Structure formats: C-alpha cells, structure tokens
Amino acid sequence: MQASGRRGAILFAGQAYYYSWYLSRALRELGWQADVLNWDPNPANDLYYHGEDIRLQPGGRFALARHLAFLQSALRTYDIVHFSNMHGMKFSPLLEDFFARRFSPGAELRLAKRLGKKLVYTNNGCHDGVAQSSFAAWGDRPVCDDCIWRDVPSVCSDERNLAWGAFRNELADYQILLGGNRVDYNVDPRVHEVPGFFCLDETFWDPDLLVPTNHRLPLADSTVKVYHAVGNMKTRTDASGRNIKSTHIWKPLIDDLRAEGHDVELVFFFDVPNTELRYYQAQADIVVDMLTYGWFGATTREALMLGKPVICNLRGEWLDQMRREIPEYVDELPVVHATPETAREVLLDLVQHPEKRAEIGRRSREFAVKWHSARAGAAQLDPIYRELLVS
C-alpha cells in the first residue's frame, strides 16, 4: 500500500480495551490529530480502559441534544472514524437508536460516508461476522463446547452473527483482524491482519517494573508461579467451571503437579483492573491461556510484553492464513503451542527448565516491542490511514 504524505484527524469511537488509547497517543507523535471517544454506558467496564479524550454520558438533561451536537462537530473535524467491537459501529448508543428509529439502522454512518469520511473497523472475536456453526467446525475439538454463550442466541447465533457481518462489511472501508478466522464475512478483501492495532505501552508493561508491597505474592522465590486470568469470569463460566479460557483444564492440571511433588502454584485472578494485574503478571514464571480457541488475546500480549513465556493453543490453519499477509509475525511468534492433550507435558517442561523459560521470555519481550508496542502500532497504522485519505 502506497501512502500519501498527508495526515489528518482520526476519531476512535468506542473503547477497545486500552488499544486505541495508546495507539492514538503514538499517532499524535507522528502528526495525526487522534482522539478517543468513550460512549460506553457501563462504568464497570472502565477497569479495562486507560484513558479517553471525550466521554458521552448516556443520560442526563438534554442528553440527545449533546450527542447530536457532538456528532455534528465530529463530522466536521475528523477524516477517519475507527470503530471496534461487534455491534460497536456507532457514535453512541443514543445516536444509533435515534437514527435507526427515524431513518434506518446505520443511517448516521451512511451520512458520514456521504460526507467523505472513511470508516475503519476492528474485529473482536470468534462470533464477529462468523456463524457459530462455522466457528464450531474448526478442528476436532470445537471451542464452542467450552463457551457458555453457545446456547444464548441473543449473544451468539448463526443469524445474529451473520447479520452483523453483513452490516459491518457494507459500511467499513477497512477492517482489522488478528487471528486468521477467515470464514463467512471475514472472507473479504477489506479484512487485513494488523497486529499493531492491539498495542500496549512498553513502559507500562515493563519486565522490571517495581511491584508495590501490597501486590507481592506470598510465595517463595523457588516456587514456579503459573499465572492464569479470566475477565468477566462469572458471565463466561458455567456451573461446572468450564470456560473458553480453559480454566477447567489448567486448575486440576496444576493441582495434579503439586500432588506429585512439583513446587508449582497457580496464580489465578479474575475481574481485576489490568493496571493492577500487571503486578501479578510480572511475578509469574509462566502464563497459561486458552487451549481450544486457537489464538490469544490481551492476557497473552500483556505477558509477552512483560517478558513471560506463554502457553496457548495456536490453530495451524489460522497461522497458515496469517502467513500470507504477515509471514514475519508468524515466524517470530514465541508463544508455546499446546492442546488439552499436551498441556501437561508442555507445562511440566517449562516448570523443570528455568533456562528455557528465560530464553522464551527474552524473545517474548522482543516480539511484543516489535509488533505490539504503541510505537509499532502507529508505524503500522500510519500508512494505512494515509492511504485511506486519498482512496
């Protein structure tokens, strides 16, 4: 892609964890006007966010008037609007509802496109434009069997997922994906593998960060600490403890290793702000993640940036698909692959070989800085955005 020399103004509409925050700060250093809009009506989600430039409150006197005034200003100010998350292509839920009731769903987005604005979208997971039945067909052990939402059609179903995919693909000029899930509406020339959007601040997740006393783990230095975490655990875990993060596999496995006499402990957290989680991640020796999904998310990227060895399932078909667009990323990826069947062997190997952990940890940090730091994200997105300005 050949980029023009011009840089303009970008609005990141809606939060995508902390990614858009750190990316926007790095883009400013390159000369962009880059602002982050938070319209999330649920303040409980703030624990995942690290900053915002604009916040549209959902209620209060004259809320609709305030949101409409913001939209008018945004359409004058910004050249590109970058949305994230399934059903998240909106300037705010209030504006989405207002335009859908009076005109049609997405009318405000079509208005933006008629005014020459470019719309970018970041895909956020398995059911984003992909039928549940399609996703369940990956591999011999369907990850959907581990997901509590498999029987909740208001969250995930063939009809709902594909309807969103059609809407999203109609409106987005460029789409970002990372993980190779190329079926259904993700088979589109506008869908690209762009690791750098999912970026972190390399100084915030520093392997040498100072851990406050109140966050120190009460474990001996000799104990191998295996970190595992689940966000929104109560809503993502069934009554038996089964979830998409493979907690139901890792917990009994580590219990078995301890019973066999191995000096290993599970360091398990859920629903803790990631500004605090990093202190526990920094003390871990190994990080374990999903064993049936086929890819990884924020937990693994944070661990890589902290220089930790990570065990996670990497679906071969997805790696092959990703290699067509980002071969170097795939070739350098330091994540240690495991399946439910091999998890014990893989984990025990790292438990027993500290020198191997150290080497993988070193490569993890180098990889994360190269591909997932805010500076790397800005370098990857800058030419993409500039090309959109002249397309």
Residue 154's domain is classified under what CATH number? 3.40.50
What separation in angstroms does the CA of 74 have from each of 35, 38, 121, 144? Answer: 10, 14, 17, 39
Q: How far apart (Å, rounded) are the C-alpha atoms in residues 197 and 207?
A: 22
Contacts for 97 with CB less than 8 Å, ≥ 6 apart: none
206 domain-assigned: no
Q: What is the mean pLDDT of residues 254-259?
A: 97
Give the dihedral sign, CA 123/127/133/139. positive
Average pLDDT, the chain: 94
Task: Grade residue 234 by pLDDT with cuts at 50, 70 and 90.
Answer: confident
What separation in angstroms does the CA of 127 have from each of 157, 162, 370? Answer: 8, 9, 29
Q: What is the mean pLDDT of residues 120-144?
A: 90
Q: How far apart (Å, rounded) are the C-alpha atoms in residues 225 and 365?
A: 19
Q: Which domain holds residue 65?
A: 9-199+374-390
Beta bridge partners of 120: 82, 174
Residue 108 and residue 217 share a domain: no
Q: Which of 76, 33, 29 is nearest to 53 (CA)?
A: 33
Residue 342 and residue 270 share a domain: yes
Q: What is the mean pLDDT of residues 12-41?
A: 95
The string of pLDDT tens digits covering residues 140-189 is: 778 888 988 898 999 999 999 999 999 999 999 999 999 878 999 999 99
314 has a pLDDT exceeding 60 = yes
Residue 68 and residue 175 share a domain: yes
DSSP letter for each residue of 219-232? S-TTSEEEEEEETT
Beta bridge partners of 12: 36, 82
Q: How far apart (Å, rounded) are the C-alpha atoms in residues 49 and 285?
A: 26
**Lowest-confidence pick of 88-97, 107-116, 138-147, 160-169:** 138-147
Q: What is the structure's pLDDT at 47? A: 82
Two tokens at 171?
């409106």
208 domain-assigned: no
233 has a pLDDT exceeding 80 = no
Alpha helices in the chain (DSSP H): 19-29, 63-77, 93-102, 107-114, 132-136, 158-171, 233-236, 247-259, 274-283, 298-305, 316-323, 327-332, 343-352, 354-372, 374-390
241 domain-assigned: yes
50 has a pLDDT exceeding 80 = yes
Two tokens at 206?
């520093």
Residue 380 and residue 342 share a domain: no
Task: Grade residue 139 by pLDDT with cuts at 50, 70 and 90.
Answer: confident
Residue 295 and residue 222 share a domain: yes
Residue 88 and residue 48 share a domain: yes
The string of pLDDT tens digits covering residues 336-371 is: 999 999 999 999 999 999 999 999 999 999 999 999
Contacts for 37 with CB less than 8 Å, ≥ 6 apart: 11, 12, 13, 14, 52, 53, 54, 55, 56, 74, 91
Two tokens at 240?
């038996």
The answer to whether 279 touches 241, Cβ cutoff 8 Å, is no
204 domain-assigned: no
Q: What is the structure's pLDDT at 342? A: 97
Q: What is the structure's pLDDT at 141? A: 79
Torsion of CA 105, 133, 175, 85, to 10 degrees: 60
Residue 356 and residue 290 share a domain: yes
205 domain-assigned: no
Task: Grade residue 3 by pLDDT with cuts at 50, 70 and 90.
Answer: low
pTM for the full model? 0.94
246 has a pLDDT exceeding 60 = yes
Residue 140 and residue 49 share a domain: yes
Number of domains in the chain: 2
379 has a pLDDT exceeding 50 = yes
| Angle between the N-to-C axes of helices 298-305 and 354-372, in degrees from 0 to 180, rounded to the nearest 10 | 110
